[in-house]
Amino acid sequence: MTGTLSSGHSETTKALELPALLEPVTAEMQLVEQWLQSNLVDDSAFVATLLTQVFQSGGKRIRPGLVLLTSRASAPGFGELSPRHIILAVLTELIHTASLVHDDVIDRAALRRGQETVNRKWSDKLAVLVGDLLFAQASICLARLMNPAIVGIYGQVLGDLCAGEIKQMNQQFACQVDWDGYLRKSVCKTASLFSAGCHSGPILNGCGDEVVAAMKSYGTNLGICFQIVDDLLDVTATSEELGKPAGGDLAQGIITAPALFILERKDEVASSFERLIKERAVCQPEGIAEALQIMKSQGGVEQTVKLARDYAKKSKDELRCLKPSQFRDSLESIVDYLLLRTR
């Protein structure tokens, strides 16, 4: 990736991996993992196989980790968490995983983190049903919290996920520069769930409005930063690093930050780039290679790096309302970790 994305403490952060950053909540993370591996067991061996495929290809558990860290950082005296906090972390990961399964169907993806997707290995119909099953399990967890405010928050998340996908599908290959639309879509598809997880724990803790609002903003800005970096990696990372073909966004007509920075130039470079998109040349290997080179060589990458750093700083600034602790330190370092990630 061109330049460095880290917004501070780069040398320290480069030496850290996510497990080290989540170490303050290791015991709680183990409970989340046990729940995902055992409490979703179905009477059908085939369904169990499908769920195993989903969760074994499953990611770094950033979202439940954020739930647990913000919960501990805002708990009175940094005390132990209740079973409801664990359920909150589980349902957050369930919603995230379900959305990925459905995204793979929509995108006709064959690989997810280097492994064959459910829709590719079995079928689109089965993948849709698996995603629905995970959403149903998340709904059961949500009901167990018995907190109307959090039910409303996560209901909004589900609506945002659908709205984000609809907006994205409706804007395929559209070359008008609309930063507000890009950011709204980023909130719907990614930041809404980050935000929900980060401020629902403080709500369970009975925190005041100031802390709840700050953690909501922390999660929103972190989620936008995460999405911007994700969009950047689609341009700068290799297919091996991504676990899927590079340039996949633009090949599907999805216009992200690196492309928007080129399109807003209104010069010959922008015109050539726009032509590649409108004529669907980006759907072919030669066309996508040319488009990627334009974004890399004409400032799209550098400007996107700056945009990601801006949202990272906004996210970190919200942590000032929390008392110093190892949990707050991890929340701050996770911002840098997300800036430095390669996949």
Residue ranges of the alpha helices (H) in the chain? 10-14, 18-21, 26-38, 45-56, 62-74, 83-107, 118-121, 124-145, 148-170, 179-186, 192-204, 209-236, 239-242, 248-251, 257-263, 268-278, 285-297, 300-317, 326-340
Burial class (CB in 10 A: 0-12, 13-18, 19+), 8: middle
Q: What is the pLDDT of residues 299-329, one digit of tens each?
A: 999 999 999 999 999 999 999 999 999 999 9
Residue given tokens 């890399």 in the structure block: 296
Close Cβ partners of 124 (under 8 Å, ≥ 6 residues apart): 105
Q: What confidence score (pLDDT) does residue 53 get?
A: 72
Say yes or no to pLDDT of 224 above 50.
Answer: yes
Q: What is the pLDDT of residues 179-214, one digit of tens each?
A: 999 999 999 999 999 999 999 999 999 999 999 999
Rounded to two decimals, the pTM is 0.91
Q: What confidence score (pLDDT) does residue 14 get?
A: 46
Fold type of domain 10-331? Farnesyl Diphosphate Synthase (1.10.600)
- N-terminal to C-terminal alpha carbon distance within the chain: 11
Q: What confidence score (pLDDT) does residue 10 get?
A: 43
